Amino acid sequence: MLLLGQLAGCGRAQLQPAGPISAAERKILLDSIVIMLAIVIPTIIATLGVAWWFRSSNPRARRQPDFVYSGRVELIVWSIPALVIIFLGGIAWIGSHDLDPAQPLPAKAAPLDIQVVSLDWKWLFIYPKLGIASVNRLVVPAGVPLHLVLTSASVWNVFWVPQLGSMLYCMSGMAGTLYLEADHPGVYRGESAMISGDGFADMHFDTEAVRRSQFDAWVASTRSAGPALDDAAYRELLHQSVPPHPYTYRAVRPGLFADIVMLKLPPGDGPRGGVANVQPVGLR
Amino acid sequence: MTLLGRLTWQAIPFHEPLPLFSGLGVLITVVAILAWVVAKGYVPYLWREWITSVDHKRIGVMYCILASVMLLRGFIDAIMMRTQQVMAYDAPGFLPPSHFDQVFSAHGTIMIFFVAMPFVIGLMNLVVPLQLGVRDVAFPTLNSVSFWLTAAGALLVNLSLVIGEFDRMGWLPYPPLSELRYSPGVGVDYYCWSLQISGVGTLMTGINFVTTILKLRAPGMHYTRMPMFCWTALASNLLIVAAFPVLTATLAMLLLDRYVGFHFFTDTAGGNSMMFMNLIWAWGHPEVYILALPAFGIYSEVVSTFSCKPLFGYRSMIYATMAICIISFMVWLHHFFTMGAGADVNSIFGIASMIIAVPTGVKIFNWLFTMYGGYVRFRTPMLWSIGFIVTFAIGGLTGVLLAVPPADFQLHNSLFLVAHFHNVIIGAVIFGAFAGYTYWFPKAFGFVLDERLGKWAFWLWLIGFWVAWGPGYVLGLEGMTRRLQHYDVAEWHPWLVVAEGGVVIILLGIIAQIAQIVVSVRTREQRRDVTGDPWDGRNLEWATASPPPAFNFAVLPDVTDQEPYWDMKARAREIGQLTRPEPRYEPIHMPRNSPTGFVTAFLAVVTGFALIWHIWWLVLLGLAGAYATFVVFAWRDHDEELIPAEEVARIDRANRAARSAALQHRQLRRETQRESAE
């Protein structure tokens, strides 16, 4: 418990939430731990206590070598765990429905659409309504629900920003829906939670939650410079590589994401696609 | 096409010193051991008494030796991983990703398939027929084939160290990463063929033990008189029979994808990689209980023996065991709540998973009440059991936590998850294996292991486990995902250093265990178990000599109660002599030794290796050889050996004499105690 308390204070991840989803999940996590500790700690103490008290050298212990069955004890040992599980089952049922990743958040503002593509070994974030894209850096406005649609253009990955909440698989040929929100401005670490090959350890990115005005400024500056993401540029992205720096695209070919999901643009070739490309494609 | 398929000199890692030299080291050690065995002239003995043996006790011992050797291999992998993560804070460390990924994959695969499985199956082999009061398993030669196929799989995994590579995506090769497109090397093929070969062995073990327990029991041993370990063994083997074909089929589909261009799991041409995830966990979750249930059985035996009390709530324990057996098949989806199934599906599987905690909790309470009112003796097996209850209570807690879908959304694939399953696999299965190993060692070898070093090993393992994996929970809550070759988060580094310290403590525990064996073997004459019952045991395995004769029991015991041996002993103590007069000894038929298992496994290694490297002519040769072996075995006309009545009498009389002497000694001690009290 002490450990948990300390973590909640200084940790920079799930236990220090920066959004409504992670806050709700942290609550469920801590509640469940406390409920279970209420039964687990007494059980551990009782086990150690009984074992020590009934040590064969203790003359004061009352021996009952024939105590091998008791209906009352049976009733209790079945019902204690059962009651705990009924209680936790309720939490799980309600929590699963309230926090279903595909469930829209109560909207204070219109959600921002973001399409997420995991590639070997980088993240592509497309802002379809804004017509821009970013690699390995997710910039979002704070206080605005994020409507993320996830896919992969290669092997599986898991999109996870611990301080914002739920993780979700990115799978080729499929689109998963995830709603998240950042409450306040800050930089939150994002990563892949699923091994995806040699460059896996580098598949992390910063999620920068900024004020609305700063976000608009970022969109404007992104639109004004950098390469455009057309099919040719996308094919470059498919090669296995780890870009040294995040970068952006000033424009995105409309319908690109749908073509990736529908496999009209085939997924990456893996190691057969050629020599690993370490130069950031957008900066060349 | 060349003669050697895709095998070339490039498969040997000449340019990578680490695998090259470790591989060479292993090779030299193996050659040295073989040379020593040959030079000392032990080959005929080993061939006659062990390699071709179909005796369940010998096979059980060989399983445990295989598991122990592979535990060392898997543990070296663990040290390498922990060291890499200590060094790799903002640095590349000493293992490049391609190598690091193989290390964690090999670690997981070896620890589950070639340590936990053979250890548990080995103990079942050693003990179940003895507890049932019978002479062997239902199919003794098949049992030998099972063992050697498991060993063949282990050998193939280790070959990948020096010839080619191992799989790089963890202990379960998820597609599409494991498909040819993303993993063109031989790593996944090594994985699949090793497990296909050892998986067949495990399935045959399952069939063998289910048959043995259902059809071969001593007269009078009804189901509700079977020792708890036999019940858990039955549940575990039923799970093997039901689940291992799923593993075989799943890996076969992946192999079809890789070898002949099928599209079961590819992400193009209509394949569905999510199906692999479902199928592999339809095997994978029962697998957890295939390992855990026999461990629970071991704890039941140990806690009861060392509390000098029958197991509390015996029937309740049976219900709990069978409930776990059945429910464990209905919860596989909790391994991927984060794949995006709907809230209904997630919560139903979450709640089903939690329900397993109920029978498991019942077991813990029943062990507690078994100790209650007993005479608790803190011998090493009992320490492992109490250490298990404490450790496993926490592991169960984190397990139920992971079964709450919204909590899992923040913990899945993090080090929290990894800490959880190490908590249950080490805390329940490995501790259980060690408890069983210490408990039944005297039965197998006729002398008791050193207690002092055994207790050292226990404390070092227990503390080492918590120092190594306590930080895992913290790291998981700090957002660290598993399998990271390097990282740049400063907060993680100190915890990873602590974890490395834990691994060092466990290493000391392993050294204590090795020292325990060495010391015990050297002083074995002082630690002889002459009566066959060193712990004042309660079940039939203690009713025969240590080590038991090949035929286990000169006369099959008559079972009238749940604890037949304890009753026998209690009556003998009452009347001051053995309860049964010397029986009329008769000759006993025992199955004849057979090299079938060894030859089949040798050919399986050849076939597997040839399949991995696409050496097709060798594949045909291996399969033809295996078929020929089968035919030769099937057409045998001499399959039993007769142990003459005089031999049976000689062996049994010696044990009866020892037991009578012990009984009289006890009687004498009682009387002197009474006199001095008066």
Helix extents (H) in B161-310: 187-215, 228-260, 273-306
* Band of pLDDT at residue A180, cut at 50, 70 and 90: very high
Nearest residue, CB atoms, B376 vs list A51, A99, A272:
A51
Set of chain A residues whose Cβ sits within 8 Å of the Cβ of B267:
171-173, 263, 267
Q: Is the pLDDT of residue A19 over 60?
A: yes
Q: Is the pLDDT of residue B429 over 50?
A: yes
Q: Is the pLDDT of residue A207 over 50?
A: yes
Nearest-5° Cα angle at B420, B147 to A50? 90
Q: From A219, A197, A207, A234, select the one nearest A148 (Cα to Cα).
A: A207
B190 is catalytic: no
Set of chain A residues whose Cβ sits within 8 Å of the Cβ of B358:
78, 81-82, 85
Neighbour tally for A1: CB within 10 Å: 9
Q: Is the pLDDT of residue A6 over 60?
A: no
Greatest CA separation for chain A: 87
Mean pLDDT taken over chain B: 94
Measure the CA–CA gap between A41 and B274, rounded to whole angstroms. Answer: 39
Stretch among A89-103, A260-274, B79-93, B538-552 having the lowest mean pLDDT: A260-274
ipTM of the predicted structure? 0.92
Nearest residue, CB atoms, B404 vs list A32, A101, A201:
A32
pLDDT digits (tens, 9 = 90+) for A44-102: 999 999 999 999 999 999 999 999 999 999 999 999 999 999 999 999 999 999 999 99
Nearest-5° Cα angle at B366, B361 to B367? 100
Q: Is the pLDDT of residue B591 over 50?
A: yes
Q: What is the pLDDT of residue B482?
A: 95
Set of chain A residues whose Cβ sits within 8 Å of the Cβ of B101:
195, 198, 200
Q: Is the pLDDT of residue B475 over 90?
A: yes
Set of chain A residues whose Cβ sits within 8 Å of the Cβ of B491:
10-12
Q: What is the pLDDT of residue A276?
A: 42
* Band of pLDDT at residue B19, cut at 50, 70 and 90: confident
Measure the CA–CA gap between B131 and A95, rounded to whole angstroms. Answer: 47
Query: Are residues B389 and A196, on separate chains, in Cβ contact within 8 Å?
Result: no
Question: How far B347 CA sits from the closest chain A CA (Å)?
Answer: 5
Q: What is the pLDDT of residue A283?
A: 33
pLDDT digits (tens, 9 = 90+) for B194-228: 999 999 999 999 999 999 999 999 999 999 999 99
Q: What is the pLDDT of residue A7?
A: 47
B360 is catalytic: yes
Query: Are residues A272 and B181, on separate chains, in Cβ contact within 8 Å?
Result: yes
Which residue among B53, B68, B212, B328 is the active-site one? Answer: B212
pLDDT digits (tens, 9 = 90+) for B317-370: 999 999 999 999 999 999 999 998 899 999 999 999 999 999 999 999 999 999
Measure the CA–CA gap between B79 and B449, rounded to whole angstroms. Answer: 27
Which residue among B141, B194, B304, B360 is the active-site one? Answer: B360
Which residue among B58, B63, B346, B388 is the active-site one? Answer: B63
Which residue on chain B is closest to A154 by alpha carbon?
A: B176
Q: In sequence order, which residues have a C-beta less than 8 Å from that of residue B389 and are 6 or more positions away? A: A44, A47, B299, B364, B367, B368
Q: From A68, A60, A51, select the one nearest B378 (Cα to Cα).
A: A51
Q: Is the pLDDT of residue B470 over 50?
A: yes
Which residue on chain B is closest to A50 by alpha carbon?
A: B372
Query: Are residues A65 and B308, on separate chains, in Cβ contact within 8 Å?
Result: yes
Q: Is the pLDDT of residue B31 over 70?
A: yes
Provide the CB-side half-sphere exposure for A264 (13 A, CA): 7
* Band of pLDDT at residue B13, cut at 50, 70 and 90: confident
pLDDT digits (tens, 9 = 90+) for B278-331: 999 999 999 999 999 999 999 999 999 999 999 999 999 999 999 999 999 999
Q: What is the pLDDT of residue B267?
A: 85
- pLDDT above 90 covers a percentage of chain A that reads 86
Average pLDDT over residues B110-123: 97
Query: Are residues A7 and B478, on separate chains, in Cβ contact within 8 Å?
Result: yes
**Which of A1, A77, A80, A263 has the highest number of chain B CBs within 10 A, making it the mutation to test binding with B?**
A77
Measure the CA–CA gap between B172 and B675, rounded to whole angstroms. Answer: 67
Query: Are residues A68 and B312, on separate chains, in Cβ contact within 8 Å?
Result: yes
Domains of chain A: 2-54+69-98 (1.10.287), 112-267 (2.60.40.420)
Provide the CB-side half-sphere exposure for B473 (13 A, CA): 22
Q: From B294, B525, B543, B564, select the one nearest B429 (Cα to Cα).
A: B294
Which residue among B82, B107, B363, B569 is the active-site one? Answer: B363
DSSP code of residue A62 = P
- pLDDT above 90 covers a percentage of chain B that reads 85
Measure the CA–CA gap between B460 and B454, rounded to whole angstroms. Answer: 10
Query: Are residues A46 and B368, on separate chains, in Cβ contact within 8 Å?
Result: yes
Q: What is the pLDDT of residue A12?
A: 61
Q: In sequence order, which residues have a C-beta less than 8 Å from that of residue A269 and are 6 or more positions away? A: A238, A239, B181
Set of chain A residues whose Cβ sits within 8 Å of the Cβ of B394:
40
pLDDT digits (tens, 9 = 90+) for B63-113: 999 999 999 999 999 999 999 999 999 999 999 999 999 999 999 999 999
Q: Is the pLDDT of residue A3 over 60?
A: no
pLDDT digits (tens, 9 = 90+) for B633-674: 999 888 889 999 999 999 999 999 998 888 888 888 877 877
Coil, helix or strand at residue B163 = coil
pLDDT digits (tens, 9 = 90+) for A219-250: 999 999 999 999 999 999 999 999 999 999 99
- How many angstroms separate the Cα of A176 from the Cα of each of A114, B177, B360? 12, 19, 35
Set of chain A residues whose Cβ sits within 8 Å of the Cβ of B406:
24-25, 28, 92, 95-96, 98-99, 166
Average pLDDT over residues B37-58: 94
pLDDT digits (tens, 9 = 90+) for B392-418: 999 999 999 999 999 999 999 999 999
Chain pair A-B, CB pairs under 8 angstroms: 303
Which residue among B53, B57, B62, B77 is the active-site one? Answer: B77
Measure the CA–CA gap between B582 and A232, rounded to whole angstroms. Answer: 91
